[in-house]
Amino acid sequence: MQYLIQLTYRPGEGPQEGTPEFDAEMAVWGALNQELREAGVVLGGSGLNVDSATTVRTRGGELTVTDGPYAETKETLFSFYMLDVEDLDAAIAWAAKMPAAEYGSVDIRPMVGLELR
Amino acid sequence: MTAALERAYRDERAAVLATITRRLGGDLALAEDAVQDAFVAAAVEWDRRGVPDRPGAWLTTTAWRRALDRRRHERVAREHLHRLAEPMSYDLEPELERSSLEDDRLRMLFCCCHPALAPEARMALTLRSVAGLTVPEIARAFLSSEAAMERRLVRARRKISDARIPFAVPPDEQLPERLAGVLRVVYLVYTEGHAAARGDAPIRGELCEEAIRLARLLVALMPDEAEANGLLALLLLTDARRSARQGAGGALVALEDQDRARWDGALVDEGAAVLERALRLPARGPYAIQAAIAALHSRAESWEATDWPQIAGLYAVLAGLDPSPVVTVNRAVAVGFASSPRAGLALLDEVALTGYQPLWAARAELLRRAGDDEGADAAYSQAIALSGNEAERAALERRRKVKAAE
């Protein structure tokens, strides 16, 4: 079963860059990523640049491109994984190990099927 | 024949549903449809050919065939497949050994009570798929419309299959937390029946009875879990007072004013026996402690003769495990009797939840006993303003008047 794991947080929450806590968190992420790779459950994933998002809409054939959504509004998506695991409990077990679960939130969405590569 | 069918619906449906759900890899939505088909088939077939020797086995086999038919049909319709991806067999060795049936019911409980489902959906699904209540019965119990309840159930089943909520007893490392979640659902079904937060009927007996049936099932399935036993003991001991708790005109009667002769002695004895078992097991928790408190109340001949010091001690232990306003308020009442009203009031000052009705009711009682009539009347007014239940409001009004006249 394939799941999209979305990691969000409110800017300002969690360890700030340049602090020892931040470095410690990075070490946890590194170890977790290693564990995920070794388990062979990762389909893909990446961190995201939260300050430089762009929104595209076409309405009645008209293209609108806008800056944002802005990082300072509510919860910001900052990273994602795509995992292939047995069931929801397995996905929850991985999500619970992610440091962002402590200060932000981790959303698990079942994927209908990864068809494009 | 109709009687046999009704009996099978009541006694066999949950087990058949659980077995079929497991065989389908946890697809509860399809299993529900297939089991429904099997009962429709039974209504025709049993009439024509007589009731089978083993209705449960007949229903399981029939439901399994219907499930496979439905699944094949869906696949063919969706894909125009030349051949099915995986051959599926109609042969079902009906797995009717007791142990495997029980395992399936336990899996069903954990599946229906999964934390990824909304809390109300967990209760409704458990009542439907484990307890076997009908949708109209569940809708009535939760003061909801049938259509809304059906939608809630359909959505929950869809999530189980779409998100692949496992049809399984969780692994050991997740078990304590998830079992607590299952117990919580059963407890909430009971409290929903026992003290409706809204509406004018304070006690809806059918929910209390279903919760006790579910707690009994849990104890039968997990006899060595202290908290499963603790919960059953708590529900039995609480339920023993049910008829004494409801006075004339539906008004709630506080424990203090209840006619203890109306307590159900058989339920008290059974609850006390289950509690003893719970207390002998390791890892006893909040339910066993609450049951121990309920047992001390049951044993007391009157409110005044209650063993308040021991109850206050048990509430202190409970507060350590579960520092909630509910526990603090009850602890304050017990301390009010075990030591002094002022000591109880001091504990109430720790409760930050000022919109919590029982806090004001308890404060009113303690102030009254401490001799502060003015403060007591004001606190009663707060409690009455915060109450959402007509019978409860009436009881508080009465208490305020009676005590003021003394």
Q: B164, A108: Cβ pair inside 8 Å?
A: no
Name the minimum distance, in Å, from the CA of B383 to any CA of chain A.
37
**Model pLDDT for residues B322-351, shown as the tens digit of each residue:** 888 889 999 999 999 999 999 999 999 888
Instruction: Please indicate if any CB of chain B lies within 8 Å of the CB of A1.
Output: yes
Cis bond before residue A69 (omega within 30° of 0): yes
Q: A88, B116: Cβ pair inside 8 Å?
A: yes
**Model pLDDT for residues B280-299, shown as the tens digit of each residue:** 998 889 999 999 999 999 99
Which residues of chain B make contact with A93, given a CB cutoff of 8 A? 174
Nearest CA in chain A to B162: A110
Name the minimum distance, in Å, from the CA of A88 to any CA of chain B.
5
Question: Does the pLDDT value for residue B84 go beyond 50?
Answer: no
**Helix residue spans in B251-307 (DSSP H):** 265-280, 286-299
Across chain B, mean pLDDT equals 87
What ipTM was reported for this prediction?
0.83
Q: Domain extents for chain A? A: 2-110
Cα dihedral B287, B293, B296, B302 in deg (nearest 10): -130
**Model pLDDT for residues B195-225, shown as the tens digit of each residue:** 654 444 545 778 889 899 999 999 999 999 9
Question: Does the pLDDT value for residue A72 go beyond 70?
Answer: no
First to last CA, chain B: 64
Question: Does the pLDDT value for residue A46 go beyond 90?
Answer: yes
Question: Does the pLDDT value for residue B153 go beyond 90?
Answer: yes
pLDDT at site B355:
85
Average pLDDT rounded to a whole number, residues B122-138 = 90
Comparing A79-83, B84-88, B151-155, B380-384, the range with the smallest average pLDDT is B84-88
Q: Cα dist. B354→B26, B265, B382, B391 in Å?
A: 44, 38, 10, 22
pLDDT at site B87:
47
Q: B165, A87: Cβ pair inside 8 Å?
A: yes
pTM, 2 dp: 0.80
With a pLDDT cut of 70, the percent of chain B lying above it is 90
Comparing A10-24, B1-15, B69-83, B264-278, the range with the smallest average pLDDT is B69-83
pLDDT at site B388:
75
Reported as a pLDDT band with limits 50, 70 and 90, residue B271 is very high
pLDDT at site B81:
45
Beta carbons within 8 Å of A26's beta carbon, 6+ residues apart: none
pLDDT at site B83:
44
Domain A2-110: homologous superfamily in CATH: Dimeric alpha+beta barrel (3.30.70.1060)
**Model pLDDT for residues B343-367, shown as the tens digit of each residue:** 999 999 888 778 888 899 999 999 9
Beta carbons within 8 Å of B336's beta carbon, 6+ residues apart: B343, B344, B345, B365, B366, B369
For residue B105, the tally of other CB atoms under 10 A from its CB is: 19
Question: Residue A84 in 3-state DSSP?
Answer: strand
Reported as a pLDDT band with limits 50, 70 and 90, residue B82 is very low
Q: A89, B174: Cβ pair inside 8 Å?
A: yes
Burial status of residue B140 (CB atoms within 10 A of its CB: 0-12, 13-18, 19 or more): middle
pLDDT at site A103:
92
Q: Which of A84, A87, A92, A108 to mutate to test the interface with B (most CBs of B within 10 A)?
A: A87
Name the minimum distance, in Å, from the CA of A114 to any CA of chain B.
15
Report all structural domains of chain B as residue ranges with CATH numbers, in order of start.
Answer: 2-90 (no CATH), 317-406 (1.25.40)
Name the minimum distance, in Å, from the CA of B35 to any CA of chain A.
24
Higher pLDDT, B3 or B237: B237
Average pLDDT rounded to a whole number, residues B64-92 = 68
**Model pLDDT for residues A74-109, shown as the tens digit of each residue:** 788 999 999 999 999 999 999 999 999 999 999 999
Instruction: Please indicate if any CB of chain B lies within 8 Å of the CB of A87.
Output: yes
Average pLDDT rounded to a whole number, residues A22-27 = 94
